[in-house]
């Protein structure tokens, strides 16, 4: 973490939470801090970023990305209160979700394969990672007989990295147009991006600006009032909020480093 990292504190401040320290080692090592304290620190940093940007407090929502952490940790963060749970892997999330009380929405933030679409629909309330027509069509095909509407975001490969998933920025309008015209059971709500990794959050800023400008340009062309922005992770969520993120997706700053 480059700046504003959660303060190091001891575990004994949150007796209701009983994880093994190994699941909650803080980012960057050092003594363990609790999930509750991490969450409070992230919330505080989000609020400060909102203030800096002249945005209403609470106008950015928090997706707690719990990938690799066990169901009991997810249940704990749900009990503490977050806006959504984010998971990358469909199968892992499906297993965990059984152990977590319902109520908090789950977002799929990782790539979706066609053959996992059924399980994804059974597990998630929102898919942030629609990145090609084939996936949109597959979801539509499965949703139609149930007459269920699924909120989705389009994932944009904002840094145009060859190895990354996400539609290229110049393809976003066509994909969004397809979803709106041909997938009546998908409700397009926003754009998501994962900028090229850089430990310096300022390097993410131009990517966040680019996503915001893309959303601003596309929304009226698509006949939408707005496209929300899901952008910003542990290293750069404050910069993302300054640049207009409606959702930030935070894993390590809440849960510590991932085991694998």
Ligand X SMILES: Cc1ncc(COP(=O)(O)O)c(C=O)c1O
- Give the Cβ contact number of residue 260 at 10 Å: 4
Q: Give the nearer residue to ligand X in terms of CB position, either 5 or 180.
A: 5
Q: Which helix (H) or strand (E) holds 228?
A: strand 228-230
Q: Which of 85, 160, 164 is nearest to 126 (CA)?
A: 85
Smallest distance, Å, CB 83 to ligand X? 14
State the residue number with the nearest CB to ligand X: 251
Q: Hey, which residues does 63 pair with through a beta bridge? A: 84, 249
Cβ-based nearer residue to ligand X, 36 or 131: 131
In angstroms, what CA-CA distances link 207 with 3, 41, 166, 198? 19, 25, 14, 12
CB distance 229 to 197 below 8 Å: no
In whole angstroms, how close is the CB of 207 to ligand X at the nearest point?
Answer: 14
Cα–Cα dist 58/6, whole Å: 19
By beta-carbon proximity to ligand X, the closer residue of 7 and 198 is 198
Considering the complex, state which of residue 111 and residue 177 has its C-beta at the smaller distance from ligand X: 111
Pairing relation of β-strands 126-130 and 228-230? unpaired
Question: Which residues of this protein are in contact with ligand X, per CB under 6 A?
Answer: 65, 67, 88, 109-110, 194, 233-234, 249-253
- Rounded to a whole number of angstroms, the minimum distance from the CB of residue 193 to ligand X is 9
Q: Which residue has the tokens 């640049």?
A: 243
């Amino acid at each position: 973490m480059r700046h504003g990292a959660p303060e190091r504190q001891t575990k004994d401040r949150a007796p209701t939470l009983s994880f093994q320290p190994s699941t909650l080692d803080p980012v960057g090592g050092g003594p363990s801090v609790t999930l509750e304290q991490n969450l409070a620190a992230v919330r505080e940093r989000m609020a400060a970023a909102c203030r800096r940007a002249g945005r209403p407090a609470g106008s950015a929502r928090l997706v707690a990305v719990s990938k690799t952490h066990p169901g009991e940790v997810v249940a704990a963060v749900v009990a503490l209160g977050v806006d959504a749970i984010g998971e990358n892997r469909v199968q892992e999330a499906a297993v965990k979700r059984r152990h977590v009380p319902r109520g908090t929405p789950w977002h799929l933030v990782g790539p979706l394969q066609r053959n996992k679409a059924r399980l994804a629909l059974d597990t998630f309330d929102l898919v942030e990672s629609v990145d090609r027509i084939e996936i949109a069509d597959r979801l539509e095909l499965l949703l139609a007989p149930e007459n269920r509407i699924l909120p989705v975001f389009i994932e944009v490969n904002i840094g145009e990295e060859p190895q990354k998933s996400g539609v290229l920025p110049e393809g976003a309008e066509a994909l969004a147009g397809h979803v709106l015209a041909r997938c009546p059971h998908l409700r397009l709500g926003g754009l998501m991006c994962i900028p090229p990794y850089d430990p310096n959050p300022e390097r993410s800023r131009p990517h966040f600006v680019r996503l915001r400008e893309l959303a601003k340009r596309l929304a009226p062309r698509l006949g939408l009032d707005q496209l929300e922005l899901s952008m910003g992770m542990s290293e750069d969520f404050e910069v993302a909020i300054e640049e207009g993120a409606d959702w930030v997706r935070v894993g390590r700053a809440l849960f510590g480093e991932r085991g694998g």
